[in-house]
């Protein structure tokens, strides 16, 4: 984590949707496990319809509409508080704070990420397109947040996931991958589970045909992965590591590993030709397809 202030600890955006409820449960356990504050944030957009006046300014909502939204917001945040209190880690209740802001959710959460260790959101909210694979708020955060972002799906109850399932991390040698590795070791250590480190040796594919020298390239990939893990193994001797060297298609293999894991950690972009993009295709594909929590490693 950088030297910037992270006094808010773990921040979770709540809107009362099923994904949001799952995000609160996961965030409460994460905060309790790490003994850091939990900050529940509800955003009230004063101009949800996007209507504009002739002069270009936003038309303020009628006062009765504004009052109703405030009342609904209070109900949402109260319900989230109860969920958080019922979702402790081994009975540890983190310091709980709540805030309600009158702002569009995406920009406000991005700004708050400057003061957080992690932002946690549901994969989709209450919008008219809430059934798309990833909501606009979660998409915006994993592209622009100043800290790591955990995206929580609502298909499988978090409480139903066996606690001894491993953590999975994708490693490709990029700086973003190094941050993901640090987070993954930390998460595995806190949970007392093993870590699966997956490296896709995509240089072994030429013109769409796997190289006949795959065994030699696999050995080279294994050696490279061992070098990248060495320092972390020394720092976290309690974490058992399983190494996976696969041929190409890292997103596919990460999603497959996610089916028998409790958490996946990915970097925000990789070492490909477009590594300067804010989010890599592999990371986005994993966030979209995995049905377990996914942490996208980001820093300010």
Q: Coil, strand, or helix at residue 38?
A: strand
State percent of the chain over pLDDT 70. 76
Q: Domains of the chain: which residue ranges?
A: 10-155, 161-297
pLDDT given for residue 136 in this prediction? 82
H helices present in the chain, as ranges: 18-34, 63-85, 105-112, 136-144, 175-191, 214-235, 250-258, 281-289
pLDDT band at 273 (very low <50, low <70, confident <90, very high): very low
CATH architecture of structural domain 10-155:
3-Layer(aba) Sandwich (3.40)
Span 42-78, pLDDT tens digits: 988 765 554 444 444 444 555 666 777 788 888 999 9
Residue 227 clears pLDDT 90, i.e. is over it: no
Site of tokens 């399932």: 165
Output the pTM of the full model.
Answer: 0.84
pLDDT given for residue 138 in this prediction? 86
Q: Per DSSP, what are the bridge partners of residue 89?
A: 92
pLDDT given for residue 54 in this prediction? 41
Span 189-219, pLDDT tens digits: 999 999 999 988 655 444 454 555 667 767 7
Output the average pLDDT for the chain: 81
In three state form, how does the secondary structure of 177-234 look? HHHHHHHHHHHHHHHCCCEEEEEECHHHEECCEECCCHHHHHHHHHHHHHHHHHHHHH
pLDDT given for residue 28 in this prediction? 95
Q: Which of 243, 122, 262 is nearest to 190 (CA)?
A: 262
- 161-297 belongs to which CATH class? alpha beta
- 10-155 and 161-297 agree in CATH topology: yes
Most confident of 6-10, 125-129, 185-189, 285-289: 185-189
Backbone conformation region of residue 181, classed left if phi is above 0, alpha if psi is from -120 to 50, else beta: alpha
Cβ-Cβ contacts under 8 Å for 196 (sequence gap 6 or more):
166, 167, 168, 169, 241, 242, 244, 257, 261
Q: Which of 101, 94, 110, 106 is nearest to 39 (CA)?
A: 94
Site of tokens 């508080």: 81
The 10 Å CB-count burial string (b at 16+, else e) for 271-298 is: eeeeeeeebbebbbbbbbbbebbbbbbb
pLDDT given for residue 224 in this prediction? 80
Q: Coil, strand, or helix at residue 89?
A: strand
Q: What angle do CA 8, 47, 129 make, to 5 degrees?
A: 80
In whole angstroms, give the CA distance from residue 150 to residue 293: 7
């Amino acid at each position: 984590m950088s030297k910037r202030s992270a006094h808010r600890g773990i921040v979770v955006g709540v809107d009362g949707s099923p994904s949001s409820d799952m995000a609160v449960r996961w965030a409460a356990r994460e905060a309790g496990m790490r003994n850091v504050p939990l900050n529940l944030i509800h955003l009230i957009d004063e101009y949800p319809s996007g209507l504009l006046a002739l002069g270009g300014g936003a038309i303020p909502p009628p006062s009765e509409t504004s009052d109703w939204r405030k009342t609904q917001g209070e109900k949402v945040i109260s319900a989230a508080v109860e969920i958080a209190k019922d979702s402790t880690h081994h009975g540890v209740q983190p310091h709980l704070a709540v805030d309600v802001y009158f702002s569009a959710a995406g920009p406000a959460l991005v700004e708050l990420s400057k003061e957080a260790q992690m932002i946690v959101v549901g994969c989709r909210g209450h919008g008219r397109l809430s059934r798309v694979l990833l909501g606009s708020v979660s998409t915006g955060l994993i592209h622009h947040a100043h800290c790591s972002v955990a995206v929580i799906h609502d298909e499988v109850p978090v409480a139903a996931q066996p606690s001894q399932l491993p953590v999975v991390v994708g490693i490709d040698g990029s700086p973003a991958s190094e941050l993901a590795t640090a987070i993954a070791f930390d998460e595995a250590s806190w949970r007392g589970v093993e870590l699966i480190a997956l490296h896709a040796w995509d240089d072994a594919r030429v013109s769409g045909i796997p190289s006949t020298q795959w065994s030699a390239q696999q050995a080279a990939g294994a050696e490279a992965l061992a070098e990248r893990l060495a320092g972390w193994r020394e720092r976290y001797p309690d974490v058992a590591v399983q190494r996976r060297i696969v041929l190409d298609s890292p997103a596919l293999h990460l999603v497959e590993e996610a089916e028998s894991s409790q958490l996946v950690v990915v970097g925000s972009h990789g070492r490909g030709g477009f590594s300067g993009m804010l989010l890599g295709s592999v990371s986005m594909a994993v966030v979209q397809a995995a049905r377990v929590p996914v942490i996208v490693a980001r820093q300010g």
